[in-house]
Amino acid sequence: MPCITFDSFSVVAPRGWEDITDSVEANDPPATLARGDGVGALQFSVALYVSGTIPDPTPEDLLDMVDSFGDARGLTAPRDVVVESSPLRLAAGTFAWDENFLRVWQVSDGRNFAFVTYTCESGREIGELRDCERIVRSLQFRGGGGRG
């Protein structure tokens, strides 16, 4: 499977997934992956540790961040919640957002953070969600890691 590299992170993605960030119509869009023949978009926003106290979040801290995301947008409680502690710390939940399916992940290696979303029209996620779960778990931060 190909490795897709961005300035602050890299992921391993199944064939057919590609970096479409340059085609996203936004000022300074997040890193975005999609299948050429796909139905949704997987977007990454990364914050690298620079200095100060090392954040060292627990998976439960990350779950609180997933919940806060939903609360801030008036969404119902997330479903299909997952919390993992290795190899990356990860929390994820799924929301219904208008007519769309929305899966949210908060990921950390203890120093760096990634906020990842996958969106598509509700009911069309079946073919891509499993790939997205694998892609998110393959994330490796690049850079950051400054001294505490």
Q: Judge residue 128's burial from the number of C-beta atoms within 10 Å of its C-beta, 0-12 exposed, 13-18 middle, 19 or more buried.
A: buried
Q: What CATH number labels 3-141?
A: 3.40.1000.10
pTM: 0.93
pLDDT at 144: 63
pLDDT score of 26? 83
Residue for token digits 């598509």? 120
Residue in 78, 75, 48, 56 with CA at minimum distance from that of residue 66? 78
Kindly tell me if the per-residue pLDDT of 58 is higher than 90: yes
- Give pLDDT, residue 148: 46
User: What are 11's two structure tokens?
Assistant: 């992921």
What are the tens digits of pLDDT across the range 109-145? 999 999 999 999 999 999 899 999 999 999 999 976 5
Omega into 14 within 30° of 0, i.e. cis?
Answer: no
Sheet of strand 17-19: strand arrangement = 17-19, 31-35, 41-47, 113-121, 100-108, 89-97, 79-84
pLDDT at 147: 44
Show me where the domains of the chain are located.
3-141
Categorize the per-residue pLDDT at 97 as very low, low, confident or very high, splitting at 50, 70 and 90: confident
DSSP 74: T
User: 10 Å Cβ neighbour count for 119?
Assistant: 18
- Residues 76-95: what's their mean pLDDT? 96
